[in-house]
Amino acid sequence: MSIEIKLIGRNGCHLCEIAQGDLAQVLARFANEHPDTEYVIEDLDIDQNPEYSHFTDEVPVLLLNGEQIAFWRIDQDRVFAKLEELA
């Protein structure tokens, strides 16, 4: 089973840029420890994807398999633990 990862942000959002870096670090560790687990990443602009407009005050928002895991800031340990549960 593939893990679906969506990072919802906005152009010009400083916290979104930080979240991208934090997520990249988590995914590098996860890929190293779980090389056989597949995942798909979508980096979405909330202004171009109105179906996520209900998150407009919470960006960046991280969804794993459709479940909101984080908003505003990414707790790397928490996200890693959730990825391990899904692996």
Q: What is the pTM of this model?
A: 0.94
Which helix (H) or strand (E) covers residue 40, if one does?
strand 39-45
- Distances 47 to 5, 54, 58, 60, 85 between C-alpha atoms, Å: 18, 11, 13, 12, 31
What mean pLDDT is reported for the chain? Answer: 96
Query: Each residue of 11-51: pLDDT tens digit?
Result: 999 999 999 999 999 999 999 999 999 999 999 999 999 99
3-86 domain in CATH 3.40.30.10?
yes
pLDDT of 1 > 80? The answer is no
DSSP calls for 45-82? EGGG-GGGGGGTTT-SEEEETTEEEEESB--HHHHHHH
